[in-house]
Chains A and B, each alone.
Chain A
Amino acid sequence: MNVLAAINSYQASALSQVMKTPALTAGAPKISGSDVLELSSIASGQGTQPAAASKGAFSDVLSQMVREVDTKQHVAGDSVNALLSGQNVPLHQTMVAMEEASISFQLMVEVRNKLLESYQELMRMQV
């Protein structure tokens, strides 16, 4: 009985957290750092100590990735701006920077998709 109550309470709290973030339920393609952190906290739950430690590490990893993707986007954007304003940027540097930024962003989107998918898989599990 106690175990069943615990699992039910986990489910309830996880669902309430999902309801709080409209971006997730609306399925918007835009993703921000806070969304990803929410996902990571839901996915790891309020579990045992090892789970809590890995939650800290994983959310750090994710926020690091978001920061790096952001840096790449800024670099590409600056390069395009410099090229358009006629400064001395070689064309190939701009093209490669744009392509790298696009690939990094795509990686982040795929990671987010996989996380969502695994969360939904988790929620579908019968108790």
Chain B
Amino acid sequence: MIEALFAQTNYVASKKLLDATVLRHEAIAANIANAETPNYKRVDLAPTFAAELSRAIADKSVSQVANLRPQLAVDGSATAANRDGNTVQLESELLRMQQNTMAHALEVQFISGSLSKLRSAITGRLT
């Protein structure tokens, strides 16, 4: 019964997306840290995660969403700009990081909003 309170598809999906966003930040931080390392290949979230998440949301299946596991993978589509084989481009990494931070803010706001809505429904007071 208590679990049913927190079993909305939106809410569970945004929690999962928050996991993925934090993981992605770690990947981008590692890429920027290794921007000068010879032969380093950039890593990012495995591209299957986004597709799986949207399919699980479309199916409205909470258990499917809860079973997803975001993972990091080496980015196969990145090409080396230099002779030393490093595939990190600093500008695009910084841009991705900014977008990731905005996504994080959105997800945190959605989760906080859901929880405070629940709280006002339970206590009957708005704040």
The answer to whether any beta carbons of A and B sit under 8 Å apart in the complex is yes
B102-119 Cβ-contact flags toward A at 8 Å (1 or 0): 000000100100010011
- Contacting pair A103 B108 (CB below 8 A): no
Contact B122 A110 (CB under 8 A): yes
Contact with A along B1-22 (1 / 0, CB 8 A): 1110110000000010011001
Contact A100 B6 (CB under 8 A): yes
Check B2 against A72 for contact (C-beta < 8 Å): yes
The verdict on B67 contacting chain A, using a C-beta distance below 8 Å, is no
Q: Contact: A90 with B6, CB < 8 Å?
A: no
CB nearest neighbor in A for B2: A68
Tell whether B123 is near chain A: CB-to-CB under 8 Å: yes
Residues of A within 8 A of B118 (CB): 103
A contact residues around B3 at 8 Å (CB): 68
Contacts of B1 in A (CB 8 A): 61, 64-65, 68
Count A interface residues, CB 8 Å: 17
Q: Is the CB of A107 within 8 A of B122?
A: yes
Given the interface contacts A64-B1, A68-B3, A100-B6, does A92 sit within 8 Å of B115 by beta carbon? no
**Contact present for B2 and A96 (CB under 8 Å):** no
Cβ contact of B5, chosen from A61, A92, A107, cutoff 8 A: A107
- Binary contact readout A65-83 vs B (1 if CB under 8 angstroms, 0 otherwise): 1001100100000000000
B2 with A107: CB separation less than 8 A: yes
Q: Which of chain A's residues have a CB closer than 8 A to the CB of B6?
A: 100
Which chain B residues (65-121) contact chain A, with CB distance < 8 Å?
A: 108, 111, 115, 118-119
A104 contacts B by Cβ under 8 Å: yes
9 smallest A-B Cβ distances: which pairs?
Answer: A68-B2, A104-B2, A107-B122, A99-B115, A103-B118, A92-B18, A106-B122, A65-B1, A110-B122
